[in-house]
Chain A
Amino acid sequence: MELYFFWGAFAAYTVAMSLFIGYAITRRELLAQVAKKGLVFAVICHGVSLIIRTTIARAMPQHSWYVPWSNWFESFSFFAAVIVVEYLIIQRKHEIPILGAFVTPLAFISMVVAIHSPFGTQIPNLPPALQSYWMAIHVPVMFISYAAFANAFGIGIAYLLQEYQIKSRKPSHLMFRLPALDDLDNMIYRVIWTAFPILTLGVLLGARWAYDAWGRYWGWDPKETWALVTWLTYLIYLQMRLIAGWRGRKTAYLSLLGFVVVIGTYIGVNYLSPLHAFLSNGGK
């Protein structure tokens, strides 16, 4: 049942992304208006699918703490939803629909990765370590920060594209759609500026969970180490921008690098981390 809503959400994400790209190419306002409404519809469908899935799972034995981000499929699906929700919040504040053409593809890719989960779409068997209320606290906090960094990444791409257009002798009409470089730079900064304390809180909550589960705050597990690398990358970004006065291309590149580290932490390290292997073994 919940998969119908999931597929509805996926279809709506796909249509919205296509409309945003169409808007970037054709400059037809109607496309952007429909795309925004499509995204809202997709998020509602996605939310309903997550609620139904949670309700079904919690009726199963040993799933009283179940939350719908416990394995590969659920995690990427949830990540896509959070990226889009945060984009809608940014959009509500700044009203720059063209950014949708840079951010919605990230949500789309996340949905595609979820769909192609090597462990299927079924509700996973939760290992004892994941049967904790911390799963409902630590993980969403991390996702909120990761999704914000995904948005910063999308805006960073827009920044570099705009810079290229401005320097180009024959700029396309995309240049007139995209905001000024300073505005984009400030937007990246504000998104990272907001997400960084959330990431810090997420890491500390993870330490607290580790203390309750294993009696230690920090074990230099690959996932933990790479979470620290992510944190340091964005700390450097903020430090360089605020203290060293970096602006523009250098900070845009740093924001892109930060998101690459996030992806490495989120996906790659699961294959190295025995404690955070729930993505790579499907919660089996």
Chain B
Amino acid sequence: MFGFEEVLPIQEGKTAALRNRPTQVTLNSFTIGYYNSSDTPSRYASDLEVMEQGRLVGKKRIAVNDPLDINNMRFYQGSWGMTQDFRSARLLLAGREMELHQNEAVPVPGTPLAVRANRFLPSFSVDASGHAATTDFEGKNPALQIDFLENGATKARVWLLKNQPNAAFKIGEDGQARPAAPPPFHLLDVAPVFFSEIHVVYDPGAPLFWMSSVGLLIGLCLRFYLHQWRD
């Protein structure tokens, strides 16, 4: 009662506003670590800035079990995911490592070709209609869509899978992704742009709840133990 709860999915570098208060939340960065040789996250955290009326009122790197407290509001780390954007990717092409940025054409040395990475999918799959899609946002099967350009015109468009270097999917004119021959180039790494779900809770009744809980405990003890004592 008299409180509110909001969930703000925020992309790295973006700001979101609360509906119930004149408060803006900026996600400066999101970091995630994994246990060795597994896809189990060991820890994830969001670097937050909270502004009210143009004034910075709080800043903290929050994690699960470690929220940010500001003016009776608590900012919790919720779930997270990868967007379909990426910061950079490394490609092994003709024995050379190339660094790509989203929608930026990079010439392939010694050839009239250029490559351009357009889109990232965290967990690549081909849906029922034959189009590339993602099954979740956790990065279990990261894939990058690459255009091969000649004189600025797209000659071929393929999906490269980071975890399966010998697999590729070529995109036809109908937009469908079909398995292609093992490519002579590999996706080495990709740095996705994350989003983080921030749970914001304003709960002015929390002290009352905890006092009631302690009261319940004391009441139960009195009810049962005093009875016993009188016996």
Asked whether, in the complex, the Cβ of A193 is within 8 Å of the Cβ of B224, the reply is yes
B71 within 8 A of A: no
Complex contacts, B64 vs chain A, CB 8 Å: 128-129, 131, 213
A242 within 8 A of B: yes
Those of A206-241 within 8 Å (CB) of chain B: 207-208, 211-217, 238
Kindly provide the distance from the CB of B50 to the nearest chain A CB, expressed in whole angstroms. Answer: 15
Asked whether, in the complex, the Cβ of B65 is within 8 Å of the Cβ of A128, the reply is yes
A132-169 vs B, CB cutoff 8 Å, 1 = contact: the mask equals 10100000000000000000000000000000000000
Complex contacts, A214 vs chain B, CB 8 Å: 76, 78, 199
Complex formed: what's the CA distance from A196 to B5 in Å? 33
Complex contacts, B206 vs chain A, CB 8 Å: 211
Q: DSSP majority for the A interface? A: helix
In the complex with contacts A125-B35, A215-B76, A242-B42 CB distance below 8 A: no
A118 within 8 A of B: no
A96-137 vs B, CB cutoff 8 Å, 1 = contact: the mask equals 000000000000000000000000000001111101101000
Asked whether, in the complex, the Cβ of A207 is within 8 Å of the Cβ of B213, the reply is yes
In the complex with contacts A131-B64, A212-B67, A238-B213 CB distance below 8 A: no
Kindly provide the distance from the CB of A274 to the nearest chain B CB, expressed in whole angstroms. Answer: 11
Asked whether, in the complex, the Cβ of A129 is within 8 Å of the Cβ of B40, the reply is no
B216 within 8 A of A: yes
Complex contacts, B224 vs chain A, CB 8 Å: 193, 196-197, 238, 242
Complex contacts, A207 vs chain B, CB 8 Å: 213
Asked whether, in the complex, the Cβ of A197 is within 8 Å of the Cβ of B199, the reply is no
Asked whether, in the complex, the Cβ of B217 is within 8 Å of the Cβ of A215, the reply is no
Kindly provide the distance from the CB of B196 to the nearest chain A CB, expressed in whole angstroms. Answer: 13
A62 within 8 A of B: yes
Complex formed: what's the CA distance from A193 to B44 in Å? 42
Kindly provide the distance from the CB of B136 to the nearest chain A CB, expressed in whole angstroms. Answer: 15
Those of B1-53 within 8 Å (CB) of chain A: 5, 33, 35, 38, 40-44
B63 within 8 A of A: yes
Which residue of A is nearest B231, CB measured?
A242
B90 within 8 A of A: no
Kindly provide the distance from the CB of B12 to the nearest chain A CB, expressed in whole angstroms. Answer: 18
Kindly provide the distance from the CB of A241 to the nearest chain B CB, expressed in whole angstroms. Answer: 9
Complex contacts, B199 vs chain A, CB 8 Å: 214-215
Complex contacts, B151 vs chain A, CB 8 Å: none
Asked whether, in the complex, the Cβ of A197 is within 8 Å of the Cβ of B65, the reply is no
In the complex with contacts A193-B228, A217-B209, A128-B44 CB distance below 8 A: yes
Contact of B201 among A201, A208, A216 (CB under 8 A): A216
Complex contacts, A193 vs chain B, CB 8 Å: 224-225, 228
Complex formed: what's the CA distance from A216 to B202 in Å? 11
Asked whether, in the complex, the Cβ of A125 is within 8 Å of the Cβ of B216, the reply is no
A204 within 8 A of B: yes
A200 within 8 A of B: yes
Asked whether, in the complex, the Cβ of A215 is within 8 Å of the Cβ of B67, the reply is yes
Asked whether, in the complex, the Cβ of B67 is within 8 Å of the Cβ of A62, the reply is no
Asked whether, in the complex, the Cβ of A125 is within 8 Å of the Cβ of B38, the reply is yes
Complex formed: what's the CA distance from A129 to B65 in Å? 7
Asked whether, in the complex, the Cβ of A242 is within 8 Å of the Cβ of B227, the reply is yes
Asked whether, in the complex, the Cβ of B220 is within 8 Å of the Cβ of A196, the reply is yes
A284 within 8 A of B: yes
Complex contacts, A284 vs chain B, CB 8 Å: 38, 40
Kindly provide the distance from the CB of A121 to the nearest chain B CB, expressed in whole angstroms. Answer: 17
Asked whether, in the complex, the Cβ of A197 is within 8 Å of the Cβ of B221, the reply is yes
Asked whether, in the complex, the Cβ of A201 is within 8 Å of the Cβ of B217, the reply is yes
**Given A134-B65, A213-B76, A215-B74, 4 further pairs, Cβ under 8 A:** A128-B44, A200-B220, A208-B210, A215-B199
Binding site for B on A (CB under 8 A): 61-62, 125-129, 131-132, 134, 193, 196-197, 200-201, 204, 207-208, 211-217, 238, 242, 284
Query: What are 28 A-B pairs at a CB distance below 8 A?
Result: A62-B33, A62-B35, A125-B42, A127-B41, A128-B41, A128-B42, A128-B64, A129-B65, A132-B65, A134-B65, A193-B224, A193-B225, A193-B228, A196-B220, A196-B224, A201-B217, A204-B217, A207-B213, A213-B76, A214-B76, A214-B199, A215-B76, A215-B201, A215-B203, A216-B5, A242-B227, A242-B228, A284-B40
